[in-house]
Structure 1
Amino acid sequence: MPNTEPSPDLERAFAALSSDTDRGLLLSGPELRRQAIRRRSRRVAVTAAAVAVLVAGGVGAGWALSDDGGRDTVLPPAVSGTGLASAPAIATPSPLPSSAPSSAPSSSAPTPSSTRPTTRPPAVPKSIPARALLSDSDAGISDVARVEDPFEQLEFCSKAEFPSEAQVGVRATVRMFYRGPKSEAGSVPDDTVYNTVTVYRGDGAVDYLTELRRAVEDCPSGKVGSSEAQFDWLGSLGVGVGEESVLIDRSYESRDGEGEPLDNGSRNHTYIAAIRIGDAVTLVDGQGYEGWGATRPDFEKQLAGKAASRLEDWRG
Structure 2
Amino acid sequence: MSRDLSDLYQSLAADADEGGLAVPESVRRYADRRARVRAAGGVLAVALLVGGVVAGVQVGLPGQRNGLAPPATTPTPAVTGPTPAPSPTPSRPATSPTGAPSTPSTTATSAPPRTPTSIPDRAFFAPPAAYLKGEPTFTDGDPVPDLCGADLTDQVVQRRIRLILYNLKPNQPEDWTPYGSYYHTITIHRAGTAKDWMADLRRAVRDCPSQEIAPGLVSRQRLLDGGGYGEEAVLFEMRSPARTDSGEPASGERVQLVRAIRVGDVVTVLWERGWESSGSTDRDQFDDYSRRAGRAVEAWLG
For the aligned pair, the TM-score class normalised by the smaller chain equals: 0.5 to 0.7
One-letter code aligned to 2:290: A
Q: CA deviation at 1:293?
A: 3.0
Quote the residue 2:164 is aligned against: 176
Q: Which moved more, 1:134-143 or 1:186-195?
A: 134-143
Quote the residue 2:270 is aligned against: 284
Residues 1:248 and 2:236 aligned together = yes
Quote the residue 1:272 is aligned against: 258
Residues 1:157 and 2:133 aligned together = no
Q: CA deviation at 1:189?
A: 2.0
Distance 2:107 2:173 in 1: 53
Quote the residue 1:92 is aligned against: none
Residues 1:260 and 2:248 aligned together = yes
1:229 corresponds to which of 219, 229, 232: 219
Identity %: 30
User: Matches of residues 137-156 of structure 1 in structure 2 within 5 Å?
Assistant: 140-143=131-134, 144-147=136-139, 149=140, 151=142, 154-156=145-147
Change (3 A) 1:230 1:215: same
Where in structure 2 are there 5+ consecutive unaligned residues? Answer: 1-88, 95-102
Where in structure 1 are there 5+ consecutive unaligned residues? Answer: 1-105
User: Matches of residues 1-316 of structure 1 in structure 2 within 5 Å?
Assistant: 107=90, 109-110=92-93, 112-117=103-108, 119-125=111-117, 127-135=118-126, 140-143=131-134, 144-147=136-139, 149=140, 151=142, 154-158=145-149, 160-162=150-152, 165-181=153-169, 184-186=172-174, 187-226=176-215, 227-238=217-228, 241-262=229-250, 264=251, 266-290=252-276, 291-301=278-288, 303-316=289-302
User: Are the counterparts in 2 of residues 273 and 283 from structure 1 also a CA contact under 8 Å?
Assistant: yes
Q: What SS does structure 1 have at the residue aligned with 2:204?
A: helix
RMSD: 2.6
Q: What SS does structure 1 have at the residue aligned with 2:281?
A: coil
One-letter code aligned to 1:154: P
Change (3 A) 1:213 1:185: farther
One-letter code aligned to 1:235: D
Instruction: State the TM-score, normalizing by the size of structure 2.
Output: 0.60
Distance 1:234 1:260 in 2: 29
User: Are the counterparts in 2 of residues 156 and 224 from structure 1 also a CA contact under 8 Å?
Assistant: no
Change (3 A) 1:257 1:180: closer
Change (3 A) 1:224 1:128: farther
Q: Deviations over 1:107-140 (max 9, x none)?
A: 3844754514162431432x31111113455662
Quote the residue 2:75 is aligned against: none
User: Are the counterparts in 1 of residues 223 and 237 from structure 2 also a CA contact under 8 Å?
Assistant: yes
User: Are the counterparts in 2 of residues 237 and 245 from structure 1 also a CA contact under 8 Å?
Assistant: yes
Instruction: State the TM-score, normalizing by the size of structure 1.
Output: 0.57
Distance 2:253 2:291 in 1: 25
Q: Deviations over 1:29-62 (max 9, x none)?
A: xxxxxxxxxxxxxxxxxxxxxxxxxxxxxxxxxx
Q: What SS does structure 2 have at the residue aligned with 1:189?
A: coil
Q: What SS does structure 2 have at the residue aligned with 1:166?
A: coil
User: Are the counterparts in 2 of residues 135 and 141 from structure 1 also a CA contact under 8 Å?
Assistant: no
User: Are the counterparts in 1 of residues 155 and 190 from structure 2 also a CA contact under 8 Å?
Assistant: yes
Change (3 A) 1:190 1:183: farther
Change (3 A) 1:138 1:278: farther
One-letter code aligned to 1:242: G
Q: CA deviation at 1:150?
A: 5.2
Distance 1:179 1:245 in 2: 26
